[in-house]
Structure 1
Amino acid sequence: MRSLAFIFSIFLFFISTDATAGLATSSSRLIYEEGTREKTLIIANINDYPIVVQAWFDDGSGNPEYEKSPFVILPAVFRMQPAGIQSLRVFFNGAALPSNKESVVWLNLYEIPGVKKEGADAHAKLDFAMNTQLKVFYRPKGLQKMKLQDLVKKLKFSIEKQSEKAVLVCENSSAYHLSFARISLIYQGEKTNIIQEMDMMSSPLSKRRYMLENPVNVFDYIEFSLIGDDGHIYHGKVDRNGAFIEGF
């Protein structure tokens, strides 16, 4: 049986976690290294009502019928009481994945509220269902371990014209995914931001294009915020060739 001290420490962790949905998680992402037996994710129901949770993996589409996931999660469907805590176990199913770069899937935690009765007339109140998504990165053994600062040096930036609009091209020559929270171009002290998207991740060994708020043709350097393996946000600056200027 878990000790009261352990349970209390878990609650303290979730209390300090910022969650927009009704579920709080012990981590904002999972790194699954090749050869790992299993990974554990702990979640807490911070709603004031019970919920049923369905968990599955997909390509980010939120489709519970997705069949190509390299992972299995247990339990896949479960009920949680208010302030309840649930441990989820993630296993690799042995699927064939690239050995020269990271792979990524999304873990979905779809919460379905029950019907709550309130007031003297016991009228029913229906709360909305919500879906929380976390990225799960599969990391092959053969990849060279690199610090975030070194990964940034594997990036090259350029501006490309598309019709009447300008886009920022990020070429990621590393074997790792880089998740941006923000990117800005600086030219002669003037800042131009990219248009924010739900997912601004740059995939390994590929190019990603970001729309700019204003058309520009040149920049001196890039300011950015990156999400690290620990879920924290790190800030830095690089020139267009990825030469590191400052940050972290």
Structure 2
Amino acid sequence: MLLKRARLIPRGITLPGKQRLGQSLPPFNTPFRINNCRYGLALKRQTIFNRQGVVEMKMDTRHSALYYLIVFLLLALPATASWASVTILGSRIIYPSTASSVDVQLKNNDAIPYIVQTWFDDGDMNTSPENSSAMPFIATPPVFRIQPKAGQVVRVIYNNTKKLPQDRESVFWFNVLQVPPTNIGSDSGKNKMLVMLRSRIKLFYRPDGLGKPDNLAKKLQIKTVNKGSGKSGIVIVNPQPWFASLSNLNVKVNGASYNLDADMIAPFSSQTWWLPGKRSLKSFSGTVTVTLVNDLGARISESYDVPHH
């Protein structure tokens, strides 16, 4: 359950049972109001996980056919951050070890208000806000109301609860969950569907002294590897203290071109991509083109000659 309880109730929230500011937010299936906008509805829930985030739907079970049709359509379509009305300005957070805090800008591009909940995880998408207390970063405010067409600054703070390596970067994920009001744009008394969108971006903790990864792409090392079964692959070695965030990986060998699933390569480590089918790379010519995402979110490509063995 992504939004079950929060640590604090933002100002302006009226909860059932006369709860006051500073108490825990009720379970998500308990409706609550913020400035006459009703958030949360006790309906059947289906959670859809994807690589970009989570779409969480709630709908009356009496309309199960429509419910499953919408679930199918959401699964069939690629999930992108552009679905979210509340967007994060920037594609990543760089947190220098010398900083006391880093500000993250959010923007509500919609004409209705939203409740927003923020938390961190270490790569496990199933980490809920309740389980994120072990993370060495906190976001404040953790829960807030964002007005239509307005912005919000979220302050990220390293709380020092976990010692992080100082000879390399560490990576965490910043989560933003937007919850729409249920009494806007619908007639009262009718069944409604609630769609919650979750966005995630990476946070890179960068120790002092590492500098900036200006030439990261140029310093990667490319190798080939062969299995006894006849399969061959490409090995990319990252001998540097920064993460290499690949957005695209293309291999061209002996006239064939392969677009492989890009991934992130940790500092001082390597990853292997196996080519489809049985193909020996013992005698061939070709290139590997790696596209990386830099600190500003720009994409930088570098091509390497595939080494011969």
- CA distance in 2 between counterparts of 1:36 and 1:162 reads 50
- Residue 112 of structure 1, aligned match among 173, 179, 183: 179
- CA distance in 1 between counterparts of 2:181 and 2:231 reads 47
> How far 1:235 moved relative to its partner?
1.8
Give 5+ residue unaligned stretches, structure 1: 1-17, 242-248
> How far 1:160 moved relative to its partner?
4.5
Do residues 231 (structure 1) and 301 (structure 2) align?
no
> How far 1:147 moved relative to its partner?
1.4
Contact 2:231–2:280 under 8 Å retained in 1: no
Contact 2:217–2:290 under 8 Å retained in 1: no
> How far 1:163 moved relative to its partner?
6.2
Greater per-residue strand proportion = 1
Max Rg structure = 2
Letter aligned with residue 92 of structure 2:
R
Q: Which residue of the partner structure matches residue 60 of structure 1?
A: 123
> For residues 211 and 106 of structure 1, do their structure 2 counterparts lie closer, same or farther at Cα, with a shift above 3 Å needed?
farther
Pairs within 5 Å for 1:36-55: 36-55=99-118
- CA distance in 1 between counterparts of 2:195 and 2:264 reads 28
> For residues 39 and 214 of structure 1, do their structure 2 counterparts lie closer, same or farther at Cα, with a shift above 3 Å needed?
farther
The normalised TM-score by structure 1 is 0.78
Q: Which residue of the partner structure matches residue 28 of structure 2?
A: none
Matched residues, number: 220
Contact 1:192–1:214 under 8 Å retained in 2: no
> How far 1:34 moved relative to its partner?
1.3
> How far 1:113 moved relative to its partner?
2.0
- CA distance in 2 between counterparts of 1:66 and 1:26 reads 23
Contact 1:102–1:138 under 8 Å retained in 2: yes
SS of 1:152's equivalent in the other structure is helix
- CA distance in 2 between counterparts of 1:174 and 1:185 reads 22
> For residues 217 and 69 of structure 1, do their structure 2 counterparts lie closer, same or farther at Cα, with a shift above 3 Å needed?
farther
Deviations 1:71-126 (A, max 9, x none): 11111111123222110001111231111110010001111222144466773532
- CA distance in 1 between counterparts of 2:93 and 2:240 reads 19
Do residues 177 (structure 1) and 240 (structure 2) align?
no
> How far 1:215 moved relative to its partner?
4.6
Letter aligned with residue 102 of structure 1:
E
Contact 1:56–1:107 under 8 Å retained in 2: yes
- CA distance in 2 between counterparts of 1:89 and 1:60 reads 21
SS of 1:176's equivalent in the other structure is coil
Of 90-99 and 153-162, deviating more is 153-162
Give 5+ residue unaligned stretches, structure 2: 1-80
> How far 1:165 moved relative to its partner?
5.3
- CA distance in 2 between counterparts of 1:162 and 1:105 reads 37
> For residues 120 and 171 of structure 1, do their structure 2 counterparts lie closer, same or farther at Cα, with a shift above 3 Å needed?
closer
Letter aligned with residue 58 of structure 1:
D
Do residues 203 (structure 1) and 270 (structure 2) align?
no
> For residues 163 and 80 of structure 1, do their structure 2 counterparts lie closer, same or farther at Cα, with a shift above 3 Å needed?
farther
Pairs within 5 Å for 1:88-167: 88-94=154-160, 95-118=162-185, 123-148=190-215, 150-161=216-227, 166-167=232-233
Q: Which residue of the partner structure matches residue 82 of structure 1?
A: 148
Letter aligned with residue 231 of structure 1:
G
Identity of aligned residues (%): 27
Of 103-112 and 43-52, deviating more is 43-52
RMSD of aligned Cα (Å)? 2.5
Do residues 73 (structure 1) and 139 (structure 2) align?
yes
Pairs within 5 Å for 1:24-35: 24-35=87-98
Do residues 168 (structure 1) and 237 (structure 2) align?
no
> For residues 144 and 73 of structure 1, do their structure 2 counterparts lie closer, same or farther at Cα, with a shift above 3 Å needed?
same
The normalised TM-score by structure 2 is 0.64
